[in-house]
Structure formats: C-alpha cells, structure tokens
Amino acid sequence: MASMENLKPIQTSMTKLLGIQFPIIAGPMFLVSNEDLVSAVSNSGALGATPSLNWRTPELFSQAVETIKAKTSKPYGINLIVNKSNPRVNQDLDVCVKHKVPLVITSLGNPKEVIDKVHGYGGKVFCDVVDLKYALKVQDLGCDGVIAVSQGAGGHAGPISPLVLLPHLKSKLRIPVIAAGGIASGNQILAALILGADGVQIGTRFIATPEAGVTNDYKEAIVKAEPEDIVMTRRISGTPAAVIKTPYIEKVGLDLNPIEGFLLKNPWTKKYVRMVRYVLGQNALEKAAHKTTWKTVWSAGQGVGLIHDIIPAGQVVQRLVKEYWDARENLP
C-alpha cells in the first residue's frame, strides 16, 4: 500500500472548502465514532466526524473535542441532531462554538441557528438531506453543503437511488453535494464524482477498523454480512433505519406494534411516542455495540458486501484513494 505522501490528492470544491486532501468524510456514527477514529481519519487527509451524542453529557462531549484536537491538527467534524428529540442540541452547539469546530453536520431539523453560530467563527455547516425540497431549504438558510443520504446508507437511509439523487440535486443546487449511501470502495467514489458529487461520506467501512469503539463481534459481523442481510426496521427510532438482520431482529420484527403505530399517527401523542421509541432504540444499539448480548442490533449499510477485512482507519483512506486513482486510470 502506498504511503500517504505518495498518494495524489483528489481536489474538488469540497476539499478546497474544508482544507483537506481527499473528499472523504468518515460518517458520524452513533457509538462507533470516537476520538481515535476521528483523529486517525483526519490525520490521513480525509475528515473524521462524530455525533455529539456519543457522550452522555455536554461536559464529556467537550472533553472529547479537546482530545480530538490534541490528536490531530487537521479539520474534523461534529454531527448535531437539531430536532426536538434532542434536548441537548443548544448545549452541544455551545461546545462546538467554544472549540470552533471546523465542520458541523446537522440532521433531522431546522439548522438555522447552527448555521448562524458556526458561521460566526468561520466554521462550515453541511446538512443531511434525502430530497430536493429540504436541500433547497437549507441552501436558502445558508448552509455550505448538503450530504445526500440515499438508498444503501446505514442508519436512517434515504428513499432515492444515488444514481438519481446526486445528479438531481447537483442540477438544482449552487452548493457542494456530498454522496452518502453504500459507498465502501474507491471506484464508487469515482462513480459518485462522475454523477456530480463533490465528495463522499462513508460510514460502514469505518466500523471495521481497530479504532471504532464497538465490540469485535460487531466488526466481524460487518465483514461477514452481505447486502441482502441489511433490512430496514422502525423498531429503533420509529422511522426506518438500516440494520444487519440478526436472529433478534427477525424475532422482534421490522415494524412498530399496532398501538405504537396508532399513537405515532395521533397529533396529540406522536411527539412523546417518538421520543420514547428513540430512547428505547438508542439503548438497544448501545447494549449491542459495547457488549455481547442476545439483543443484537447492529446499524450498517449495504456497503457491508464490499468490506472484507478489519484494518486501521488510515489504511482504509489509503486504499480508497488508491482504488479511486486506479479506477480513473482504467476508465474505458
């Protein structure tokens, strides 16, 4: 494997905007992304990111950001969930402002306050989107780029094929479009850029690394799984989320029970039921990620079928970049 010094940078509008060598974000993953993973990816020339909610309190989150900054001088990112299910969003945003986090990635809500405060210190904001309507909205609010979450993504995947979503968004937006969903190889990065993307966000590939903060059982499951093993379940958060099909997932089923489904449709109860379901789902994910349990809930995307080994995160970036240039040189 070529060293990082010998790898030619991949320049796009995203790399220029963020000051990185390669247009790759290691997607912020609940429980998986920790200080070691984020810093290893950033030190490799890509950009590591993590959700603020991987730490139980804003104080612990702030300490984690300090650790990341001690481990890397390169840009990194923090993901904030900005809807009402996250009571910590304002406190965690204050932490991002305090540390001048280079990139904040928002999910599931109105990012206006985040954009204003992060731009106040010169940081950048990317917003997760699954369709054009929301992408246009966040562009109008002033965000610096959108992460186009498509079919094949882990966690809350989008409903539209990347073959359609990427050129569709690119034709309508003025800001960078980042491809997310099922990407685990360098030739897929090339394909995404050909479709109009300015970069990619890759999550599942970085679970199968020594740095990832989950059990070896989880990592081995990523290596062994096939795309057909990824199923969408509403049992985690109330909205469809991609997980590996395990005996436990098969036992509990993929949909909510009829009572929960009814309460989620009722305007008087849906907010509270959604919050309860979210908490229960996060607890299930946490137990399975950190210890062996029969209640196995492992979030993953369809890219598992392209992951065959557990290697350091820096080597993952090296391999992705080498595969990209090889694929580009071998285009017919």
pLDDT in tens, 127-175: 999 999 999 999 999 999 999 999 999 888 888 999 999 999 999 999 9
Task: Please indicate whether residue 157 or residue 20 has the higher confidence score (pLDDT).
Answer: 20
d(CA 273, CA 260): 7
Q: By percentage, how much of the chain surpasses pLDDT 70?
A: 83
Contacts of residue 312, Cβ cutoff 8 Å, sequence gap at least 6? 40, 209, 210, 211
**Which residue is it, tokens 């199923």?**
231
DSSP one-letter string for 143-189: -SEEEEE-TT-SBS--SS-HHHHHHHHHHH-SS-EEEESS--SHHHH
In this model, does residue 15 exceed pLDDT 60?
A: yes
pLDDT at residue 83, as a whole number: 81
Q: What is the pTM of this model?
A: 0.87
* The pair of three-digit structure tokens given for residue 98, joined into one six-digit string: 């305090």
- Residue 243's SS3 state is strand
Encode pLDDT of 90-114 as tens digits. Answer: 999 999 999 999 999 998 889 999 9
Six-digit token string for 27: 């997607």
Tokens at 114, concatenated: 């985040």
Whether pLDDT at 273 is above 50: no
Domain-wise residue ranges, the chain: 4-213+308-329, 226-299
Over residues 292-308, the pLDDT tens digits come to 454 567 889 999 999 99
- Secondary structure element (H or E) that encloses residue 59, with its range: helix 58-71
pLDDT for residue 233: 79
Neighbours of 239 (CB within 10 A): 15
pLDDT for 274 equals 53
Of 151, 145, 178, 147, nearest to 164 (Cα)?
A: 151
SS3 244: strand
- Comparing CA positions, the residue from 249, 231, 248 lying closest to residue 240 is 231
pLDDT over 90 (residue 239): no
pLDDT for residue 290 is more than 80: no
State the average pLDDT for the chain: 87
The correct CATH number of 4-213+308-329 out of 3.20.20.70, 3.40.50.300, 1.10.3720.10, 3.40.50.12280 is 3.20.20.70
